[in-house]
Amino acid sequence: MLTLDEGKIAIKLAREALTCFIEKKARIQPKGLPPLFNEKRGVFVTLHEDGELRGCIGYPQPVLPLGIAIVDSAINACSRDPRFPCIKPTEIINIELEVTILTKPELYNVPKTRLPAAVRIGKDGLIVSRGDYSGLLLPQVAPEWDFDSIEFLSHTCLKAGLPADAWLDENTEIRHFEAQIFAEVAPGREIIEKNYADTSCGV
């Protein structure tokens, strides 16, 4: 678990990486960070502009030290998300950053028919994979869109390019992970930790 101070460092690192890349086409090198940032962690960086998604890319698995993964994810979110054009220097002032730190994804250990009861809305993120198809939705997606657990499973399948009910297929793997979410309340302003775990959106 990260402290709020460490979460603030994560956001500031992501903003520095984004700004340096967009303005100078340069990549910063993380340095002088707390020891936790040398640990391998999964992470996603999400960008919003005027309340709308503007980019989201990251590492589902803990394959890189957290500091490096944050820099990579911030650069990729602002320039390589295929859904959006690269962010322009004039947009930076309007971009809100969110950094989501992931636990290692694990398979659900329940029969497929019992998955809806196992999914914890607001706490679990999902990864659906089958063959070459894979899709991920972060824990905050379900409460933000008022999904119940079946809708959350179905939308993760659709994100993977699979049928909405593919989660029932025995050949489909469903993994879950938890996350800490740190975000700016406004572009470049106060940084908070978001908590969706108390949501009543049901299973």
Model pLDDT for residues 54-74, shown as the tens digit of each residue: 999 999 999 999 999 999 999
Range(s) of the domain holding residue 38: 4-103+179-194
Are 164 and 98 found together in one domain? no
Q: What's the CA gap between 154 and 142, in Å, rounded?
A: 11
Are 78 and 152 found together in one domain? no
> What's the pLDDT at 196?
80
The count of other CB atoms within 10 Å of the CB of residue 173 is 15
Q: Is beta strand 106-107 parallel, antiparallel or unpaired with respect to 133-137?
A: unpaired
Are 119 and 149 found together in one domain? yes
The count of other CB atoms within 10 Å of the CB of residue 8 is 18
What are φ and ψ of residue 53, in 5° steps?
A: -60, 135
> What's the pLDDT at 87?
97
Alpha-carbon distances, residue 73 vs 16, 60, 116 (angstroms): 12, 11, 30
Are 61 and 11 found together in one domain? yes
Are 158 and 85 found together in one domain? no
Task: Please tell me what DSSP assigns to residue 40.
Answer: B
Alpha-carbon distances, residue 31 vs 100, 135, 137 (angstroms): 20, 32, 30
Are 140 and 183 found together in one domain? no
Q: How confident is the model at residue 13 (pLDDT cuts 50, 70, 90)?
A: very high
Q: Is residue 201 part of a domain?
A: no
What pLDDT, in 10s, does the model give residues 121-171?
999 999 999 999 999 999 999 999 999 999 999 999 999 999 999 999 999
Q: Is residue 199 part of a domain?
A: no
Q: What's the CA gap between 126 and 175, in Å, rounded?
A: 6
What SS3 class is residue 84?
coil
Looking up residue 154, the CATH number of its domain turns out to be 3.30.1490.150
Are 41 and 28 found together in one domain? yes
Are 53 and 90 found together in one domain? yes
Here the tokens at position 36 are 């936790």
Are 78 and 154 found together in one domain? no
Q: How confident is the model at residue 8 (pLDDT cuts 50, 70, 90)?
A: very high
DSSP characters over 91-107: GGGGEEEEEEEEPPPEE
Are 115 and 156 found together in one domain? yes
> What's the pLDDT at 195?
86
CB of 148 closer than 8 Å to CB of 121: yes
Looking up residue 51, the CATH number of its domain turns out to be 3.30.700.20
